[in-house]
Amino acid sequence: MADKDEKPKVMLEDVKLAKAWDDKACKDVPGWAGSTLKGTLSSNVEIVSSKPKKGYILRSASEPITFDKKKGERSAATSVIVTDADKSIKASLSTKSSLKGNYPKNLQKLVETMGVVAEL
């Protein structure tokens, strides 16, 4: 039986970026999203670097990051699938967020404040 204070083991796979409104500007988004996800989860779970025998694997994808010039709005969608070591799906989550305004030089802060990853 597991100790009450023992945290579940979780392996985070690299965040995949499906496509973006600007590949060059968004090339670092998977790293930022992964770091934010890791930071959000680390107080509740034990982050491990290899597939845990008892625990979970999080597969995350950041779907199209778009910029609508007419509306002056950026949008992003993120999905996460939680599986166990046997690849059995335990949970899934999809969320979408948008932010008005043009922030071309501060994309990292934009991604962090959109709440797309932080909500997970």
Q: Which domains does the chain have, with CATH numbers?
A: 9-113 (3.40.50.10610)
pLDDT at 120: 34
Determine the Cα–Cα distance for residues 19 and 34; give it in Å rounded to an integer. Answer: 16
pLDDT digits (tens, 9 = 90+) for 73-88: 878 788 889 999 888 9
Core vs surface per residue 51-77: b (16+ CB within 10 A) or e: ebeebbbbbbbbbebebeeeeeebbbb
How would DSSP label each residue in 18-35?
Answer: --BS-HHHHTTHHHHHHH
- Predicted structure pTM score: 0.64
pLDDT digits (tens, 9 = 90+) for 24-72: 777 777 887 788 888 888 788 999 989 998 899 998 887 767 777 788 7
